[in-house]
Amino acid sequence: MWTAAALTLELASITTLVLLVLGVPLAWGLARAKGWWAEVVGAAVTLPLVLPPTVLGFYLLILLGPNGPLAPLLTRFGVTTLAFSFPGLVFGSCVYSLPFMVQPVRSAFAALGQGAWEAALTLRAAPWDAFFSVALPLARGGIATGALLAFAHTLGEFGVVLMIGGDIPGKTEVLSIVIFDDVENLNWTQAGQIATALALFSFLVILVTLRLGRRMERT
Amino acid sequence: MSRITGRFAGTLGTFHFDAAFDIPAHGVTGLFGPSGCGKSTLLRCLAGLTRLPGGSLRVGEETWQGAEVFMPPYRRPLGYVFQDARLFPHLSVRDNLRFGLRRAGGGKVAEADVVEFLGLAPLLGRYPARLSGGERQRVAIGRALLAQPRLLLMDEPLAALDRDSADEILPRLRGLSARFGVPALYVSHQMDEIERIAQHLLFMRAGRVVAAGPLVDLLTDLSLPFAARTGAATVLDLPVSAHDDAYGLMLCGTPPLRLTVPGRLGAVGELIRLRVLASDVSLLRAPASSSILNTLPARILAAETADGPHVLVALRVGEARLLARITRKSWDQLGFALGQEVFAQVKAEALAGAQ
């Protein structure tokens, strides 16, 4: 069980980091873009929110499988498939948790409006400079919220993990899978303990997120 | 003297915009016009925040925009003061002030001078959320100045402030261009603000610059709407020549343009600005009793003698100009005519200091 807990934390941490690096610029682009294609990209990013996890897992399995479209690229790196592997899980988690990162960050960027941005430009800040010195710090509340939500969401995912990761102990078996296995094996005590821990942790994350949002509103 | 010249034209939505301008690269130029005439659009074009194809802009010897050139806003050495201040809420006042300064890599405008000039010392450690509207705008002006601009653009910086805060900032704006050697373009739809601080004027209407020139020339041009409005006035920039402390008066200027003004608005030698309402100037054929102060020899340059009870008269006094609004009855009875030498009588009380 502790192996699974460590694996779960590792998965959630790496996913959150990857999403910070990729999701924040994506959210910036979506917040500033005008035009129909921004809506299309926005909708695609949001899709995992409503798609049944098994459907998402199914497509990811095909994408990452030995005969999938990514296979030629993967073999170049000496890998035949990402399915049923930890990197595959990270990939799947990133797609699955993407909207939880992008939505709050996009809203935070959109709320900044043009005001501070234009002021920075007239004060000799080039766009990349204005992004790092003005937009990013002003959106920090949204970024923290996004990171927390993405982290918590990854902790609890089940369907996608089961589809593309299976339950290989130490490699792809995360806590939610352990709960499922425990229940199947009538090991109710451990299932209950893990479930309680996950529920408490998730509650804490939401609480912190809300408080953070409240504090940002005041400044 | 170097100049700032250019032209921006284009259609924004349903609004047709075509503004050509040529202003001196020194002093304060007021940009006046009714709401929605395109003043802010012109300012945004100057800053490069709005890009109209085919626009051109030269500042002194430098081309900021032309057929082949478009300097993005962050490459233009300018300062922009927005109506809503737009301070960075995550930075202290000190760091807001240094934002542009650091990126400009220093220059002739020193941080300590700006802090002193705008009275910012007590605010330096505070954050924008804890400043009043007037304080915020003062910081915004300081921040723009410290970016070492070669052109300072101010978009109605006082419009959102209450009268007291605005009155506190206005006098500082007047001295700002000379003190820091930065030409400024000051947008306002309040003519009295411009009369207090500007030396030149651009007048816009419906997306076009319809008149431009020295402020006094435009104020006394009878074909423009300034002379015809109810509070029509002219301004005089005169040095204080003596104080009459026994009566609390100041003597300003030298004959023929010597005026006695109540109050003590400046030290001897200091240039002060006087605002003279057209309705406070009357005309005489010969100087009346010597007990009346401020009777100046003048020549009638132009007169607007339409029907209606009043005649508007543009006068030359020495090198300066005045406007007089007298009744048509006295115009006819005293037999005034263009080119005539007359005497203008200005009530001393009518002179309001602009300081």
Nearest by CB to B99, from A123, A127, A140: name it.
A123
Domain count, chain B: 2
B146 and B75 within one domain? yes
Instruction: Give the chain B residue whose CA is nearest to the CA of A128.
Output: B74
Nearest CA in chain B to A218: B129
Interval A69-123: pLDDT, tens: 877 777 777 777 777 888 888 998 999 999 999 999 999 999 988 899 999 999 9
Determine contact, residues B152/B145, Cβ cutoff 8 Å. yes
Residue B109 and residue B237 in one domain: no
In a shared domain, residues B174 and B299: no
The answer to whether residues B33 and B166 belong to one domain is yes
B224: in domain? no
Instruction: Report the chain B residue with the minimal C-alpha distance to residue A116.
Output: B86
- CATH no. for residue A137? 1.10.3720.10
Q: Which two tokens stand for residue B110?
A: 């020193």
Q: Which of A112, A118, A122 would best serve as a mutation to test chain B binding (most B beta carbons within 10 A)?
A: A122
Mutate to test the interface with A, among B64, B103, B141, B145 (most CBs of A within 10 A): B103
Tell me whether A111 touches chain B (CB under 8 Å): no
Q: From CA B157, how far away is CA A123, in angstroms rounded?
A: 17
What's the pLDDT at B292?
Answer: 61
Which CATH number do you get for residue B187?
3.40.50.300
Quote the number of domains for chain A.
1
Range of the domain at B43: 3-219
* pLDDT of the residue at B355: 42
DSSP string, A16-75: HHHHHHHHHHHHHHHHH--SHHHHHHHHHHHGGGTS-HHHHHHHHHHHHSTTSTTHHHHH
Q: Is B128 on the interface with A (CB under 8 A)?
A: no
Domain final residue pick, B164, B187, B219: B219
Provide the sign of the torsion angle of the four alpha carbons A137, A140, A146, A150, taken in this order: positive
User: In chain A, which residues have their Cβ closer than 8 Å to the Cβ of B90?
Assistant: 137-138, 140
CB pair distance less than 8 Å for A115 and B103: no
Tens of pLDDT along A137-187?
Answer: 999 989 999 999 999 889 888 888 888 887 777 787 888 888 888 888 888
Identify whether residues B112 and B255 lie together within a single domain.
no
Q: What is the mean pLDDT of residues A195-209?
A: 88
Checking if the pLDDT of A219 tops 70, the result is no
Which residue among B189, B219, B249 closes a domain?
A: B219
Cβ–Cβ below 8 Å for B73 and A116:
no
First to last CA, chain A: 43
Q: What is the pLDDT of residue B354?
A: 43
CATH number, residue B245: 2.40.50.100
User: What interface predicted TM-score (ipTM) does this complex get?
Assistant: 0.86
Domain encompassing residue A85: 2-218
B74·A118 Cβ contact <8 A: no
| Record: contact A119-B73, CB cut-off 8 A | no
Please report the pLDDT score of residue B175 as a whole number.
82
B64 contact A CB<8A? no
Whether A135 contacts A113, CB under 8 Å: no
Which of B90, B98, B127, B152 is best to mutate for the A interface (most A CBs within 10 A)?
Answer: B90
Domain boundary among B219, B246, B271: B219
Half-sphere exposure of A74 (CA within 13 A, CB side): 16
Q: What is the pLDDT along chain B (355 residues), one digit of tens a residue?
A: 799 999 999 888 888 899 999 999 999 999 999 888 899 999 999 999 999 888 999 999 999 999 889 999 999 999 999 999 999 999 999 999 999 999 998 789 999 999 999 999 999 999 999 999 999 999 999 999 999 999 999 999 998 888 888 888 888 888 888 899 999 999 998 888 898 899 999 999 999 999 999 999 999 999 998 888 888 889 888 888 999 889 888 888 888 888 888 887 778 888 888 888 898 898 988 876 655 678 889 999 999 877 788 899 999 998 889 999 999 998 999 888 899 999 998 875 544 444 4
Chain A residues touching B145 at Cβ < 8 A: none
In a domain, B225, yes or no: no
Same domain, B280 and B309: yes
Please check whether residue A121 touches B, CB under 8 A. yes
B169 three-class SS:
helix
Whole-model pTM: value is 0.86
- Residues B134, B282: one domain? no
Q: Which residues of A touch B129 (CB under 8 A)?
A: 219
Residue among A115, A124, A127 minimizing CB distance to B104: A124
Distance (Å, whole) CA A218 – CA B68: 47
Q: Looking at residue B290, what is its pLDDT?
A: 54
Query: What pLDDT score does B289 carry?
Result: 65
**Three-class secondary structure of residue B38 per DSSP:** coil
The answer on B73 and B152 residing in a single domain is: yes
Enumerate the residues of chain A whose CB falls inside 8 A of the CB of residue B47: 122
Q: How far is A28 from chain B (nearest CA, A)?
A: 19
Instruction: Enumerate the residues of chain B whose CB falls inside 8 A of the CB of residue A126.
Output: 72, 74
Q: Is B86 on the interface with A (CB under 8 A)?
A: yes
Percent pLDDT > 90 in chain A is 38
Residues B82 and B25 in one domain: yes
Does B248 map to a domain? yes
The answer as to whether B62 is a domain residue is: yes
Q: Do B68 and B159 sit in the same domain of this protein?
A: yes
Helix (H) or strand (E) holding B133, with range, is: helix B133-146
